[in-house]
Structure 1
Amino acid sequence: MEQILVPFQAADQGRGAPSWGQRDLWGVGGHEGRHVTLGGVTALPRGTSVEAVAGIVSTLVTRHPTLRTRFHVDAARRLSEQIVSSSGEVALAVLETDHPEQAAFDALVGFDQVRFDFGQEWPLRMAVVRHRDELTHMVAVYNHIALDARGLDAMLADMAERETPPDGAAALPPLEQASWQTSAAGRRQSARALRHWDRILREAPAQQFRKQRADADSPYVKLVLESEAAQLAVRAIAERTRQSTGYVLLAAYAAAVTHLSGSALVVLRVVVDNRFRPGLSDSVSAVSQMGLWSIDASAATFDALLARAMTSSLDTYMNAYYNPEERQSLIESVERERGEPVVLDCCYNDRRRGPQDLKPAADGVPTLTGGQNASAPTDPSEPVTRGTLRAALDRSVLRWEPWTAPTSPVGETLYLHIDDTPNGQGLVFTICGDTAYLAPADIEHCAHMIEDVLVQAALDSGAPIPG
């Protein structure tokens, strides 16, 4: 393996408190120093040179302070300072191989499985694969603390338009985010969000899922369901009810969770991207945080459940930007008052790339346009029928995948991630679960129930929610 050091030289540097997004991803309350990454493999056009790739890397790191940021971790393992450098070198590995696709995959796994050194290492690892003197693939892995999925999108958009300098005034980098967060306005925002958390914490069940196995060999598992039927159903329901697809999916997940837990009250930690906030829309950084969402899922029909989901979702999205240490202190305070731990172990992450429901506004008041990550409504010229749904159901694919991360997550008994299929014709439901609490059969039933709930609701608005 050859390694090239790519220099960068920027005009800005500085140090200061980490932002809320950075500190939340680092972890609080005993979960500090989590290893979470983003990244992937990209096929390169024929004729791409190492020098061209190095030029792109240098440009991106120069433009975006988050990619040249390291951190100080104090004796209590708290993320205490972010340090932005104006100059330095980024390593670019060049892998020579006769099996380029496998080499690219192996490099991706290798990058992902080694923890980042937050204090010494830049938050990106990059490699190119060369086969017979031709570059074939680029591999990139980013420390999640540097950027979230929307931050990655913003960076990729900048990469595509790298000849045009970005509008630096429009996108706040993490140092400027942290400065606002310590202002009076930032403190008011955090206090407002934590009042929302306080209300839900006081009524939430102590634990939604009961432990079934006490042995230490209960694996963390991952199940994937690819469903064109769910995509068709979601769009049909959204069109009929004039609600966003994001709300439709949240309601379907709530129906499955209440069936698994046996509790009508469902409480979820929901990833909110916060990109509707001023200065964050195109920021190459990590600004997403967990919102707290609750719903009485005892509704008789899906449309009734959907109406409740919409109201709860808007409150959640507006109150997912806060000081993470203060949130942890609030949780601990409520637990002391209740005399029991409150386990928030059911999570939801809609990663689809459609338009958001909350759009930025110059006056700081967002405009509601649909659901978070909402996809376009169905084409009315292509009605969803029982026949099309039945045919789509026959094409659904369910599979178990190995859990490849170096550790299992803590406090995530059930976690649903939603993506679009590569062709955009279906949805991918990835359900990760702790089998100490939920048997694999329960996790599989959760996936099928989400699909069944959506299909039945698309066919009959008055149908009872299937169990």
Structure 2
Amino acid sequence: MTSSDTATSLQPVQSRVVVPFAGTLSGVGPLTWGQKALLRDQRDMGIPLNATGAQHLAPGTTVESVAARLGELISKQPSLRVRLVRDPQGGLCQKVFSSGEAAVEVLDFADSDEPAAVAEYTERLWQEWQLVPIDHYDQWPVRMGIIRHRGAARYQVLSFNHLVIDGTSMTYLMPDLGVGVPRVVAGAAKPLSILELAEYEHSEAAQKVSRRAMRYWESQLRDIPGRTFGEPVHPDGRLGKPYWHCRFASQAAYQAVLAIAQRSGADVSRVMFGVLATALGRAMGHDRLRAKVILSNRYRPGFADTIAQLSQNAIISVDLANATVDEVMARCRQALLAGGMHAYYDPDHLTELMARLDAERGYPAEVTLRMNDRRRTTQRWMAEEVRAARVTPADIEARLGETFFSWDGTLDTCPDQAFITIEDYRTFYLQLIFDMTCFTEKQVEDFAYGVEQVAIEAAFNPAAPAGCG
């Protein structure tokens, strides 16, 4: 029996520890723009959108101390005391509660269970929690599990509802749960609370920002086709199912990205987007990339330390024809900068804009390619690795045997024809969702392995051609 089989067969005893919390801020307010966007994405994708993970606990840590830390964190952070409610007219709004109780789940494993199998069970559990809904109305937006084995608390498993936090918020919260170093900003003003953020977004100043963003979006959306990759051509999809998710990881591509970033001076994120755009253009036969990209709005004044969902879709457009890979990277950088400047807006305004453009065009249209760089912890590590990089062609070749691709399963629905996510691992790791009524298996796999090929081609050659279209 493999370790994976053993982990699946484990049967921990489940119990709960209830922790009270109480905070100073409470009240009811409208939804923020980020919350509106998240609810729409969740509805369209048909799956929960949670931020999850698992962490080792230091020796000597007890279940009670871990649970108490969670209670203290919820008391401290108003965003973690939010539930959605209806106003007297039936409209949706958010309520920050002043106090309450949270139930922490405890999983006790038998002494006879192997530590490796318990670790494997923990890994699977946090991945499963990504797709377990957190009820916006009846549950607190953070869920905790504690893995106890042979009398000691070994791991904590966490799931945060993206309705109230983004990835950056999560990194700010984790030190209070014993993970990472607290963020210290000398002389910083008190960050906006989630209710203050919502109040600002209903001001005339914020509405002007949103309307300005819509003018940019209109310039990008006016001439788009009905769907980015055309209409379905394979009605049966793959194995009778339309929406498939898959994974790709390449240490060789990771090493090549370090080499590209060092020789070009480009930011690693821009290098990765340039490589992805080139590989996608080659595999799908496109010489222009138009995509929605999830970007943070934290650069805006007063937003840096706010615990809230501050990421929204930006719109980018990149020409791939007659270019080198380096030129595609530069074009991605400019497109991401322009898109990021216009990624803070009221989603209701975007809905109105798209309806008007559909009417003027005479047909409905939307961008159905979405991209997301979810790296948080590895961004710092990669920047350090770029500075120290001494990558050679032999180093890259030596890692080729570690590359893998897998088809992992199906989804019931997805609003996008392709959803490409760079995950937070110290490798070039992609989570992919494709509408297989529009693509062949070969196209998807050509794209995935093409990411590695493009990165290697451009690692030491600034004149490497993109070769798209």
Regarding TM over 0.5, the answer is yes
> Could you tell me which residue of structure 2 aligns to residue 410 of structure 1?
414
Deviation at 1:410, TM superposition (A): 2.3
Partner of 1:152: 170
- Equivalent residue for 1:369? none
The SS at the match of 2:302 is coil
Q: Using the TM superposition, give the Cα deviation of residue 33 of structure 1 relative to its aligned residue in structure 2, in angstroms.
A: 7.9
Question: What is the distance in 2 between the residues matched to 1:136 and 1:22?
Answer: 34
Change (3 A) 1:75 1:464: farther
What's the CA shift for 1:381?
6.8
Among 209, 213, 218, the residue aligned to 1:189? 209
Of 433-442 and 231-240, deviating more is: 231-240
Check 1:109–1:241 CA distance in 2 against 1; reply closer, same or farther (3 A cut).
closer
The one-letter amino acid of 1:154's match is: Y
Using the alignment, how far apart are the partners of 2:153 and 2:372 within structure 1? 35
| 1:377 CA drift (Å) | 6.8
Contact 1:449/1:466, CA 8 A, preserved across alignment: no
Could you tell me the percent identity over the aligned residues?
29
SS of residue matched to 1:27 = helix
What is the aligned partner in structure 2 of residue 126 from structure 1?
A: 144
**8 A Cα contact 2:46 2:414, kept in partner:** no
Q: 1:265 to 1:466 in 2, by over 3 A?
A: closer
User: How many Å apart are 1:118 and its aligned residue?
Assistant: 1.4
SS state of the match for residue 452, structure 1? helix
- Matched residue of 1:45: which SS? coil
Distance 1:130 1:183, change over 3 A: same
Gaps of 5+ in 1: 357-372
SS in 2 for 1:31: helix
Alpha carbons of 1:96 and 1:29: their partners in 2 closer, same or farther (altered >3 Å)? closer
Aligned to 1:13: 26
Distance verdict in 2 for CA 1:130–1:323, change over 3 Å: same
Structure 1 contact 238–377 (Cα < 8 Å) conserved = no
Report what 2:7 is aligned to: none
Asked if 2 retains the 8 angstrom alpha-carbon contact of 1:8 and 1:88, the reply is yes
What is aligned with 2:311?
288
Letter paired with 2:235: A
Distance 2:86 2:282 in 1: 42
Corresponding residue of 1:363: none
- Give the structure 2 partner of residue 249 of structure 1: 272
How many residues in Structure 1 have an aligned counterpart in Structure 2? 444
Does residue 1:331 correspond to 2:344, yes or no?
Answer: no
Mapped contact 1:239–1:377 kept (Cα < 8 A):
no
Which deviations, in whole Å up to 9, do the C-alpha atoms of 1:170-198 show, x marking residues without a partner?
32222111111111221121112111111
Provide closer, same or farther for how the CA distance between residues 381 and 69 of structure 1 changes in structure 2, counting only shifts above 3 A: closer
In the alignment, the residues of structure 1 paired with residue 412 and residue 313 of structure 2 have an alpha-carbon distance, to the nearest angstrom, of 19
Please list the CA deviations of residues 29-84 of structure 1 after superposition, one character each: whole Å capped at 9, or x if unmatched. 97398521111222222322122012101111011111110002589997x20100
The structure in which a higher percent of residues are helix is: 2
8 Å contact kept, 1:111–1:125: no
Alignment of 1:49-198 (within 5 A): 49-72=62-85, 80-98=92-110, 99=113, 100-101=118-119, 104-105=122-123, 107-108=125-126, 111-160=129-178, 169-198=189-218
Shift of the 417–8 alpha-carbon distance from structure 1 to 2, 3 Å rule, reads same
Matched, 1:347 2:370: yes
TM-score, structure 1 as length reference: 0.86
What TM-score do you get using the length of structure 2 for normalisation?
A: 0.86
Q: Which runs of 5+ in 2 are unaligned?
A: 1-13
The residue matched to 2:414 in structure 1 has which SS? coil
Distance in structure 1 (CA, Å) of the matches to 2:125 and 2:389:
43
Name the residue aligned to 1:213: 234
Backbone CA RMSD of aligned residues: 3.0
